[in-house]
Amino acid sequence: MKTVYVMQKKLFFLGLAIIGILFIYTGCDDNSRSLGNFGIDIATIVPEGDNSYSLKLDNGLKLWSATTDVIITPSDNQRVLLNYTILTDQKDGFDHYIKVNDIWKILTKQPIELTSENEISIGNDPVKTNSIWVGGDYLNVSFMFNYGGIQPHAINLVGNVLYAETDQDVIELEFRHNSFDSKSDKLYEGFVCFDLRSLRAFDSDSVKLSVKVKEWTDKTNNNTTEKIYNVVYRYNSPTTQTRTETPIPVTTSNEYY
């Protein structure tokens, strides 16, 4: 019987039991802020002009990048995994000034419609999901896929217009994966965020989402099942919980898009 190996990426694999604020105490600066303390969170980049940027956490906190150890070109609505140190409390309209210690871009996409024209290119190959949840205006998906080292895989969130919705009060979506006929037994970690703002209803402050995933139940024998994740996207009010209790791998790679 073949063994399925869970492969870590060569770079930027961060296995975190809890994504949140992690503090390490090593000493304090003159403002009683320890420059050795750091937090790790998922955030969204907000360009501020002149190549400067702020960041918004999923709980609504706004952070100003006052100083940084890394250089990036900020792009609007880019999701990132942020390693940062808090320098100040509220100042100039921001909840904190921070020092950016490191930053990793997360694949960030829009939901699309699945039609007869794009059905083949979108694909419907199985994955193994670790966790799916809503953070801020985004659906976050931690998953595993069988990358074969030949062609990058396609990852999408689709509204399937080829089939009628079964519940008019729920937006039915599908997490789709095109492996391009990869025969690999080895599973790689992936992470993607989908912008949900196009799904807002004008007469409500929330919408219910049902996300269908084609899942492996037995990778060795290629047995699959459909798994449904029911989540609620609430807008006009910040998310109070930003943590997840599953490992979150975040990578910068060309292995999926």
Q: What is the pLDDT of residues 186-237, one digit of tens each?
A: 888 899 999 999 999 988 999 999 999 999 887 666 789 999 999 999 997 6
Provide mean pLDDT across the span 42-71. 92
Residue 158: the pLDDT is 96
- pTM of the entire predicted model: 0.81
The larger pLDDT score, comparing residue 248 to residue 113, is at: 113
The larger pLDDT score, comparing residue 69 to residue 6, is at: 69
Instruction: Provide, rounded to the nearest whole percent, the portion of the chain with pLDDT above 90.
Output: 56
Strand intervals (E) in 138-205: 138-145, 154-160, 170-178, 187-195
Instruction: Identify the CATH assignment for 6-13+107-234 out of 2.60.40.2370, 3.40.1000.10, 2.40.30.10, 2.60.120.10.
Output: 2.60.40.2370
Residue 35: the pLDDT is 59
Provide the CA 20 distance to its chain's centre, in angstroms: 14
Residue 161: the pLDDT is 75
Residue 6: the pLDDT is 34
Please check the confidence at residue 27 and state whether its pLDDT lies above 60: no
Alpha-carbon distances of 187 from 8, 129, 143, 146, rounded to whole Å: 9, 11, 10, 5
Average the pLDDT over each of 134-138, 141-145, 196-200, 245-249 and give the range with the smallest value: 245-249
Residue 164: the pLDDT is 64
Fold topology of 39-105? OB fold (Dihydrolipoamide Acetyltransferase, E2P) (2.40.50)
Average the pLDDT over each of 84-88, 94-98, 164-168 and give the range with the smallest value: 164-168
For residues 57 and 43, the answer to whether their CB atoms sit within 8 Å is: yes
Q: Pairing relation of β-strands 39-49 and 6-7?
A: unpaired
d(CA 216, CA 218) in angstroms, rounded, equals 6
Instruction: Provide, rounded to the nearest whole percent, the portion of the chain with pLDDT above 70.
Output: 77
Please check the confidence at residue 121 and state whether its pLDDT lies above 70: yes
With vertex at residue 191, the alpha carbon angle to CA 186 and CA 195, rounded to the nearest 5 degrees, is 145
Averaged pLDDT of the chain: 81
Residue 217: the pLDDT is 82
Average the pLDDT over each of 31-35, 153-157, 163-167, 183-187 and give the range with the smallest value: 31-35
Which residue spans of the chain are classified as CATH 2.40.50.500? 39-105
Residue 37: the pLDDT is 82
Alpha-carbon distances of 221 from 143, 185, 216, 217, 224, rounded to whole Å: 19, 11, 9, 9, 9
Please check the confidence at residue 28 and state whether its pLDDT lies above 50: no
Please check the confidence at residue 17 and state whether its pLDDT lies above 80: no
φ/ψ of 103, rounded to 5, equals: -155, 135
